[in-house]
Amino acid sequence: MRRMRWLMCALIVGGSAGGAAAADLPLLRGSNTFEVGAPTNWEGFYVGVQAGAAFSGTDFANSTQSLVAFILRNTTIENEQHVSDWTTLGKYDTSHSSYGAFMGYQTQWDCAVIGIEANYNRTSLSMAASDTMRRTFATSDGYSNDVQVNAVSSIHITDYGTLRLRGGWAAGEFMPYAFAGVAVGRADVTRSARVIASGFDTTGSGNPPYSTDQTNADSRTGAFAYGYTLGLGMDYAVFRNLFVRGEYEYVGFGAFNDLNTHIHTARVAAGLKF
């Protein structure tokens, strides 16, 4: 019995010492840097990296309008038939990967989270279009005209950035959010228009026939366009200071040298909150 009492005392003392040692381990008693579960709140500065798939569409319909209008300036066929308004080119789509970084600050009231965030994305979205349109028509000066427009346009979007206002709702480890803001994009744009026209006088007045073949081209490297962004997503707190993200973003640009372009992006991200 005496030996059994000594054995029980030894086990109790050993267990107490082991518990005290375990309590001294920072991962077991809780760390201020990383802690499993939802953060106390989402407020503060944060930075992160992101990657995704970008899907872009461009409307080339009016991309060579200004070029044709310059070639046919002060002519009867432009004034009466508006050749520069002909829809020579159509719409084209493409897709490519994108990657970038973001940083922001947000504040929280109870479960409501409001913040501002800047995003930058690098990509390579290339689209091109070429076509020809030909028409014959009469004008008020008595001429019968044969006009052909050859149009070529291309765009290569290299990168874009957004500045967003975000609104979210803290629900434990999850924070769904929506955002809206302004966007700026950069692209290399090439446009070319060739007008081949000829005509003859049908009134018998003896006016001479005419014939012309002119080309006007424009090429810009690093052209800027401005627009807006809309989207929604979900942040998930892996640890107190580490979160992951999934989101969808739409960016609509005004015009890259008469080319109207938009981008849909689905991406994932990871960030650190300070």
Note whether 255 and 225 are within 8 A (CB): yes
Note whether 185 and 97 are within 8 A (CB): no
Predicted local distance difference test score (pLDDT) of residue 40: 60
Domain assignment present for 177: yes
Report the predicted TM-score, pTM, of the whole model to 2 decimal places.
0.79
Tell me the CATH number at 221: 2.40.160
Domain assignment present for 19: no
Distances in whole angstroms, Cα of residue 222 to Cα of each of 28, 63, 187, 214, 257: 54, 17, 5, 27, 11
Domain assignment present for 255: yes
Domain count, the chain: 1
**What is d(CA 78, CA 80) in angstroms, rounded to the nearest whole number?**
6
Domain assignment present for 70: yes
Helix/strand/coil percentages in the chain, nearest 5 = 15, 65, 20
- Computed on alpha carbons and rounded to an integer, the radius of gyration of the chain in Å comes to 32
Domain assignment present for 2: no
Note whether 123 and 98 are within 8 A (CB): yes
Domain assignment present for 158: yes
Q: Which of 198, 220, 210 is nearest to 67 (CA)?
A: 220
Predicted local distance difference test score (pLDDT) of residue 17: 41
Q: Which two tokens stand for residue 65?
A: 């309008």
Domain assignment present for 92: yes
Q: Which two tokens stand for residue 169?
A: 């709702």
- 214 CB-side CA count, 13 A: 13
Helix (H) or strand (E) holding 249: strand 242-253
Domain assignment present for 194: yes
Q: Which of 99, 227, 105, 252 is nearest to 166 (CA)?
A: 105
pLDDT tens for the 274 residues of the chain, in order: 444 344 344 433 344 444 444 344 343 344 444 444 444 689 999 999 999 999 999 999 989 999 999 999 999 999 999 999 999 899 999 999 999 999 999 999 989 999 999 999 999 999 999 999 999 999 999 999 999 999 999 999 999 999 999 999 999 899 999 999 999 999 999 999 999 999 999 998 889 999 999 999 999 999 999 999 999 999 999 998 999 999 999 999 988 888 889 999 999 999 999 9
Domain range for 127? 48-273
